[in-house]
Structure formats: C-alpha cells, structure tokens
Amino acid sequence: MFDPALTQTMQIGIVVRDLDATMRKYVDDYGIGPWKIYEFNPGNAKDLREYGQPVQRSWRLAVAMVGQLQWELIEPLDNESIYARFLAEKGGGVHHIAVAAQSFDKMLAMEAKRGTDLVLSGEFEGIKVAYLGTERDLGVILEIFSGTPNLKKEPDAI
C-alpha cells in the first residue's frame, strides 16, 4: 500500500446545454445556489491545450457550493471543445471530478508514465489545470490543479 495520490474531492464538473435554464432548475427545484458565472475565452485562458494541441475555446461556467463541495456547470460556446463533444456524444452530465493531488507535477508524471492522456491543460489566474484521461480506469476524467483555485476575478454575474 502507498500514500494516496489524491487528498480531497473539490468539485463536480457537469456539462450542460443551457447554463441559465440549468441554474434556474438547480435553484428552483433543489435550492442550490447562488451561482457565480464566468466566461472563459482565449483572452483569459493561458496556454490552453486539448490532447497537447494548442486550441482557442470559449465556454461559460457557473459555480456554487453544496456543503464543502463545489458544483460547476459548463456550457460550451463552440462546437469543437471537449465540452461540446461531450454534449454531442452523451447529451450532458458529469464530465469531470476535480481533486487535490499530493503533488501536481508528480501526478502528471505518474499518469504520463501510465499512458494517460492529458485531455485539457492550461493556466487560469496563475494556477495550472490538467484534465487527466482517467475515464477507462475510473469512469470519469480527473481534474487537478497546481495550487488552490480561487477565481479571484469578479464573476461576470451572480
């Protein structure tokens, strides 16, 4: 047995077709909110890559806390991103789970050694982000960070 590579579940990432309608459903039917809304685009995502290739993508997302766990709703604003392809193939749903890793760099190296794809990577507000292609082993993509994501940027809306 060895020390776990993951120390905490931080977020559930859910891809949706209509961010506004989905937020209303969560608030009205389940009392989940308030939601902070952000738009990501090539202007605020540094070195964005899908499967190692540079890309220019845009999406809207909303985050809300449910206890200690952040829920993230993601609406793609293009037809080619990993989120848009997920919608086309699966119709939406849980896309990834964000976890805290003992070491961002060690986790990346360990998964590269196993042959795990780096599905999405980039830098947002000084924090490196990586989506690991762990669907085959774990049933879902894992997202890891090089630090604690804080989204210091003011939301576009609440």
The answer, yes or no, to whether residue 157 has pLDDT greater than 80, is no
pLDDT of residue 73: 98
User: What domains does the chain contain, in order, with CATH numbers?
Assistant: 6-145 (3.10.180.10)
Q: How far apart are CA 28 and CA 31, in angstroms?
A: 6
> What is the model's pLDDT at position 158?
73
Q: What integer pLDDT is reported at residue 22 of this predicted model?
A: 98
For residue 125, name the pLDDT band (cuts at 50, 70, 90). Answer: confident
pTM here is 0.90
Of 75, 70, 81, 101, nearest in space to 156 by CA: 75
* pLDDT tens-place string over residues 5-15: 788 899 999 99
Percent of the chain with pLDDT over 70: 94
157 secondary structure, DSSP code: B
CA distance 59 to 15: 10
In the DSSP assignment, the letter for residue 139 is: S
User: H or E stretch including 129?
Assistant: strand 127-132
Phi, psi of 105 (to 5 degrees): -65, -40
